[in-house]
Amino acid sequence: MNKVEASMAGTVWKVLVSEGDVVDSGQDVIILESMKMEIPLSAEIDGKVSKIMVNEGDFVAEGDVLLELVGM
């Protein structure tokens, strides 16, 4: 299991994947928006998106888990 966490406080601007999607390591999965800057967050492993904890527009704090991946 692998988690994608918010690198800083901000708003979830885009969720680029859905639960069940297969993603590659390095692929952008969520884009945060903080202080007018878009911050892409990528998967650290090849795997399947098992759970998405946030919706677009949600406000998140630094370190919040946004998405979970299961390694393939």
Partner 1 sequence: MIQKLLIANRGEIASRIIRTCREQGIQTVAVYSQADLEMPFVKMADESYLIGEPPVAKSYLQMDTIIDVAKKVCADAVHPGYGLLSENATFAQKVLDAGLIWVGPKPSVIAQMGDKVTARQVMIEANVPVVPGSGEIVTWEEAVHIANQIGYPVLLKASAGGGGVGMVLCHSDKQLEQHFATTQKRAGMYFGSSAVFLEKFLERSRHIEVQVLADQHGNALHLFERECSVQRRNQKIIEESLSPSISQEAREKLYQTALQAVHAVGYYGAGTVEFLVDQQENCYFIEMNTRLQVEHPVTESITGLDLVSWQLAIAEEKALPWKQTDLQPQGHAIEYRLYAEDPVTFFPSPGKIEVFSLPEGAGIRFDAGVEAGNTITPFYDPMIAKCIISGSSREEVLTRSRETFSQMKIEGIKCNLPLLVELLDHPDFVSGKYDTTILANRKGK
Site for partner 1 in 25-64 (CB under 8 A): 31, 34-39, 59
Q: Nearest CA to 69 among 13, 9, 17?
A: 17
CB of 47 to partner 1, least distance (A): 19
Phi, psi angles (nearest 5°) of residue 27: -75, 135
CB of 49 to partner 1, least distance (A): 15
* Number of residues in contact with partner 1 under rule CB under 8 A: 15
Q: Helix %, strand %, coil % for the chain, to 5? A: 0, 55, 45
Which residues of the chain form contacts with partner 1 (CB under 8 A)?
7-11, 14, 16, 31, 34-39, 59
